[in-house]
């Protein structure tokens, strides 16, 4: 019988060193970021396949929250003639809610292998947030496609140039239909990704950004629902309101907003945040102060290759450089994994209990 000797420490460290060397190339291949905000299709429901998007993600992007766009731009021949508009700014014709997007996203997800599916968190978007029946649509999608969805959104309440073009009742933060949606999301455990501008385009001096108070009240009414506020309320024309950083700082400090998170997606937003050394430092200070509350997203729509897909990621390099290692890791990856893993587990449990 051989006598087992304690392994010398020097040998252990040599082995550890060798392992590290072996692991190093793998670490270089490890994903650098997860994307909590990605549109597979555009405003006319055209785009790329989930398979194609895996190519865009390559080894750089680990996981992606996957959705289409809930609104379809009408091609109204009386308005633009033979010109087929593909973006909402190109025509006066209305947008309408296109619920088929949810079936399309579900089928894209189901076309993938289990290992590929694990890299996506599909989201339900094809509902009208001004309709009291919207929550019933979300339930129906979960019942029709169990095992697929992790959250709802991106859906929009106030958005420059978009909300006024939506056919039917105008969505509002005070509409009980939205409360029903957020209650149901909380009950199931669905992550919510909501777009709501922080202000209106071209506000007059001293004009009250009424959205802010309404948003605060909405967050207060739904403490059990995990809500990601897309772009921190910024837009193409809706620029950072005066003292926005201080305002968001105060909002995040209160215990009653502990279920609210912010995504820094969209190149229009990146443009504001990295505009000057001061803006970069101010944004970095805020994220370093609340490292658990911010998520990276691209807000890209059906990108053609990895370079265009990661444009926003590259734009943020100066911001990432100002973050603590902890804040940087959480913003790029950790917070996504924490929120979406928790949601996946809850939604699967709800489906098990409620879907026959």
Count helices and strands in the chain by DSSP H and E runs: 16, 11
- Chain residue at closest Cβ approach to Zn ion: 299
Q: Which CB, 34 or 323, lies closer to Zn ion?
A: 34
Contact predicate 323/334, CB 8 Å: no
CB of 302 to Zn ion, least distance (A): 12
Q: Which CB, 121 or 284, lies closer to Zn ion?
A: 121
Contact predicate 299/265, CB 8 Å: yes
- Contacting residues toward Zn ion, per CB under 5 A: 154, 299
Nearest to 299 by CA among 40, 28, 24: 40
Nearest to 155 by CA among 270, 67, 47: 67
CB of 299 to Zn ion, least distance (A): 4
Q: Which CB, 131 or 299, lies closer to Zn ion?
A: 299
CB of 115 to Zn ion, least distance (A): 27
Using CA atoms, how far residue 114 sits from 26, 118, 304, 333, in Å, is: 22, 6, 24, 21
Q: Which CB, 262 or 323, lies closer to Zn ion?
A: 262
Using CA atoms, how far residue 1 sits from 4, 6, 96, in Å, is: 9, 16, 79
CB of 266 to Zn ion, least distance (A): 7
Q: Give me 325's structure tokens.
A: 């290692």
CB of 90 to Zn ion, least distance (A): 18
Q: Which CB, 35 or 299, lies closer to Zn ion?
A: 299
């Amino acid at each position: 019988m051989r006598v087992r000797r304690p392994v010398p420490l020097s040998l252990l460290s040599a082995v550890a060193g060798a392992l590290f060397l072996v692991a190093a190339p793998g670490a270089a291949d490890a994903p650098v970021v997860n994307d909590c905000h990605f549109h597979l299709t555009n405003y006319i429901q055209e785009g790329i396949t989930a398979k194609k998007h895996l190519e865009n993600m390559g080894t750089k992007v680990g996981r992606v929250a996957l959705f289409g766009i809930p609104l379809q731009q009408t091609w109204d021949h009386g308005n633009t003639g033979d010109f087929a508009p593909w973006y909402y700014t190109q025509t006066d014709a209305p947008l309408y809610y296109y619920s088929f997007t949810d079936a399309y996203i579900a089928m894209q997800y189901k076309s993938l292998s289990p290992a590929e599916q694990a890299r996506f968190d599909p989201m339900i978007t094809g509902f009208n947030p001004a309709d009291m029946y919207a929550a019933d649509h979300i339930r129906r999608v979960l019942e029709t496609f169990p095992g697929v969805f992790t959250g709802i959104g991106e859906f929009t309440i106030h958005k420059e140039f978009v909300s006024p073009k939506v056919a039917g009742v105008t969505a509002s933060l005070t509409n009980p239909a939205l409360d029903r949606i957020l209650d149901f999301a909380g009950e199931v455990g669905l992550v919510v990704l909501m777009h709501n501008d922080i202000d209106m385009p071209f506000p007059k001096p001293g004009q009250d950004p009424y959205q802010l108070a309404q948003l605060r009240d909405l967050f207060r009414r739904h403490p059990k629902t995990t809500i990601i506020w897309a772009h921190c309320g910024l837009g193409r024309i809706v620029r950072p309101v005066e003292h926005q950083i201080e305002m968001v700082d105060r909002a995040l400090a209160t215990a009653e907003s502990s279920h609210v998170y912010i995504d820094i997606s969209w190149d229009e937003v990146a443009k504001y945040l990295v505009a000057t050394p001061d803006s970069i430092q101010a944004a970095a200070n805020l994220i370093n102060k609340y490292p658990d509350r911010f998520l990276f997203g691209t807000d890209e729509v059906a990108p053609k290759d990895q370079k265009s897909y990661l444009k926003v990621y590259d734009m943020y390099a100066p911001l990432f450089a100002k973050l603590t290692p902890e804040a940087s890791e959480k913003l790029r990856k950790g917070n996504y994994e924490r929120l979406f893993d928790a949601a996946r587990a809850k939604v699967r449990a709800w489906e098990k209990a409620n879907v026959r």
